Amino acid sequence: MQLSKLAYLLPLIATVLAAAVPDTNSGVSMVNDEIEVSELEGNIFDKRACSSNKCKCAEGTKAGVYCGRCGAVTSLGSGGINDVYQCASSGECCRYGPRSSCAGSSYTPCG
């Protein structure tokens, strides 16, 4: 008799457990199936849009985030050397804006 009650509750329990599983990649943005570690440093809540400013990166450069002083960024467009740029391997580029780590002597990130 008790087993018949379990048969009625089993679908309900399975539904509740399935709803509790989070979506994959929830809250994580991926670029070219890679997560940029440098993007996770610092304040992850300070999200900025990457704006097109006619910058250029060297073709064949590994896709990633670079400071304006890095060799991968060949043309700054309307940005500056202390700005952060997102480079694609095709040479396309967009600018996030200034970053204090780019103004330092180590100017990170560089890829």
94 in Cβ contact with 56 (< 8 Å): no
Q: Is residue 72 scored above 60 in pLDDT?
A: yes
| pTM, two decimal places | 0.56
Q: Quickly state the pLDDT bin for 59 (edges 50, 70, 90).
A: very high
* Residue 111 belongs to domain spanning: 49-111
- 104 closest CA partner among 68, 60, 58, 55: 68
Residue 83 included in any domain: yes
Residue 31 included in any domain: no
- 55 closest CA partner among 10, 17, 86: 86
Q: Reduced to 3 states, what is the DSSP secondary structure of residue 92?
A: coil
φ, ψ of residue 83 to 5 degrees: the values are: -95, 160
Express each pLDDT in 76-97 by its tens digit: 999 999 999 999 999 999 999 9
Q: Reduced to 3 states, what is the DSSP secondary structure of residue 40?
A: helix
Residue 7 included in any domain: no
Express each pLDDT in 11-53 by its tens digit: 666 665 565 555 554 444 445 444 444 444 444 445 678 999 9
Residue 4 included in any domain: no
Residue 28 included in any domain: no
Residue 27 included in any domain: no
Residue 26 included in any domain: no
Residue 108 included in any domain: yes
Instruction: Give Cβ neighbours of residue 103 (< 8 Å, ≥ 6 apart).
Output: 82
Overall domain count for the chain:
1
